Amino acid sequence: MRTVKAVCFTLVIALMATAVHAQDSRRITLMSYNVENLFDAEDNPAREGDNTYLPRAQKGTEAHEDLCKRNNPPGPRRTECLTLDWSDDVLKKKVANMATVIGRFEGRGPDILVSQEVENKNVIDRLRAALPDGNSYKTVVNLDDSPGRGINVGIMSRLPLMPGMPPSSIAITFRRTSLTKMAVLAHRRAMSRRSRCNCPMVRH
């Protein structure tokens, strides 16, 4: 067996389906989708970084401007924090567009969807509800462990999680086996040379 080391931010999902073992050749499909700042339109006081994604009517105060300056260097991100008009209607359209893209994958969406840059489980549930076969995703997880802006990794799966192996965001060393289905996804920091890594996808 070959040992592979993931040296950057990784997501490990261990999934188990009844009778999905070495003697079962059923194919499992997986999609990784960076949804690019899928935030709701409500302020989370525990996360200063979500203040960009609020209706413009809630912006313009001195407190909001201070938050934008504190959390964003001068440039496009600060301007977006100060001026973006984010609302439930905007979110609804974004979710509908994403659901269309996901639903086109083999006509029903993947067995496992891993999405990067989701704010919370609420927006994941909204995305699931918009999918043509959304009710088939019995496992829904938000890894609420991203510092700063709170852009997390979300999981929707038609398969249950392996007991005793919850999803986690860690750097790991592991071995390939023929019995446990595993997936490794990397969400790197944008525009950073330090974020470069070679994180392989382990199918089984």
> Which tens digits make up the pLDDT trace of 164-188?
777 766 544 434 444 445 555 555 5
Exposed / middle / buried, residue 97 (Cβ in 10 Å: 0-12, 13-18, 19+): exposed
Residue 203 lies in a domain: no
57 in the same domain as 141: no
pTM reported for the whole predicted model: 0.73
Percent helix, strand, coil in the chain, to 5, is 30, 25, 45
Judged by average pLDDT, the poorest of 25-29, 59-63, 159-163 is: 25-29
69 in the same domain as 97: no
140 in the same domain as 191: yes
Domain count, the chain: 2
Residue 22 main-chain phi, psi, to 5 deg = -60, -35
> Which tens digits make up the pLDDT trace of 23-37?
344 688 989 999 999
Q: Which has the closest alpha carbon to 200: 179, 180, 176?
A: 176
Which tokens is 143 given?
């890894």
Residues comprising the chain, all counted: 204
144 in the same domain as 58: no
* pLDDT for 136 beyond 90: yes
Per-residue confidence (pLDDT) for residue 2, from 0 to 100: 37
* pLDDT for 73 beyond 70: yes
Domain that holds residue 29: 3-39+87-195
151 in the same domain as 114: yes
